[in-house]
Amino acid sequence: MKKMNILLFGNKGQIGREIEELVKIKDIKITGFDVDSLDITDAEQVSSVFKQSVGVDFAINSAAYTNVDKAEDEYEKAYQVNCIGVKNLALSCRQYNIPLLHISTDYVFSGEKPSSYAETDVAEPHGVYGKSKLAGDQVLESIWHKHIILRVSWVFGKYGNNFVKTILRLAQERYVLNVVCDQFGCPTAAADIARVLFEIAEKVLRGKEKWGIYNYCNYPVVTWYEFATKIVELGRNRLQLRVKQINKIATDEFPTKAKRPKNSELFVEKINKDYGILRKSWDGCLCEVIDAIEF
């Protein structure tokens, strides 16, 4: 098989950095861009990158506006990155016949469904972040059929800002933590998402492509409280944690500007059926992340 050649957008984010780390142990050429080196909302900049690139097999888009609460005030900025940016990438990918692997989110769903969300469920996001991400998914579907939209949930990792890092920091500072216990989801390691993307890419290069939307998350489903409890339990093996008590609180007791989905569990079967991808447990991934985090 020829050496894989990839364009990566959002290479300084949680998932982007894991992708770049993974390619170090694979025979892959990768050219990465972050917000400082490329503005994906600028069609001319995006077009220029693709025009100058030769022999590209895939484009991966992990760039996104992800500040859920701030998006409520920065509506236009969120849509520019999460929708217009995706549109620009899709147009260039179509022009040069390059498949686009795009990261989406559980926030495209309302979170009101009592069971897990399948790819075929109706997307009804509440906030600006979810609406802008859904708009990006839809514009990609309308422009370029050679795409994978990978919807993931509760992403954590050793890079960037995430729930794991926040809980460990607070556990070092406080004796008591209050954590929401009535929101459900599946924490998903950024490193595992990177693995999944490359497993898909390798299958596509072998001519076994099946385009469309796919869900992926780690297992099992938990609440934020249960996840926080496990983070603290594992964190004590490495860090001096001050926290003595973790309290359960309801969502109403922890008001946020943007409404969070009550249920973010994703139904993960299609990706196994079409690509043979197996899920990992988040607790195993969590151990690796906590060991790797630099404080």
Cis-peptide into 261, omega within 30 deg:
no
Residue 99 DSSP symbol: -
Task: Let me know if 258 is exposed, middle or buried by CB neighbors in 10 A (0-12, 13-18, 19+).
Answer: middle
* CB of 289 closer than 8 Å to CB of 165: no
Picking from 146, 159, 186, the residue whose alpha carbon sits closest to that of residue 58 is 146
What is the distance between the alpha carbons of residues 256 and 273, in angstroms, rounded to a whole number? 38
210's CB contacts (< 8 A; 6+ apart) are 274, 275
For the record, the structure tokens of 219 come out as 């297992």
Residue 143 to residue 148: CA distance in whole angstroms: 13
CB atoms within 10 A of CB 3: 10
The number of CA neighbours under 13 Å toward the Cβ of 152 is 25
Q: Which long-range contacts (CB under 8 A, 24 or more apart) does 73-77 make?
A: 73/257, 74/128, 75/128
> What does 202-234 look like in DSSP terms, one character per residue?
HHHHTT----EEEE---BS-EEHHHHHHHHHHH
From the list 79, 107, 117, 129, the catalytic residue is 129
d(CA 87, CA 278): 30
Spatial contact of 23 and 47, defined as CB atoms under 8 Å apart: no
Determine whether 117 is an active site residue: no
Maximum C-alpha span of the chain? 57
List, by residue number, the catalytic residues: 129
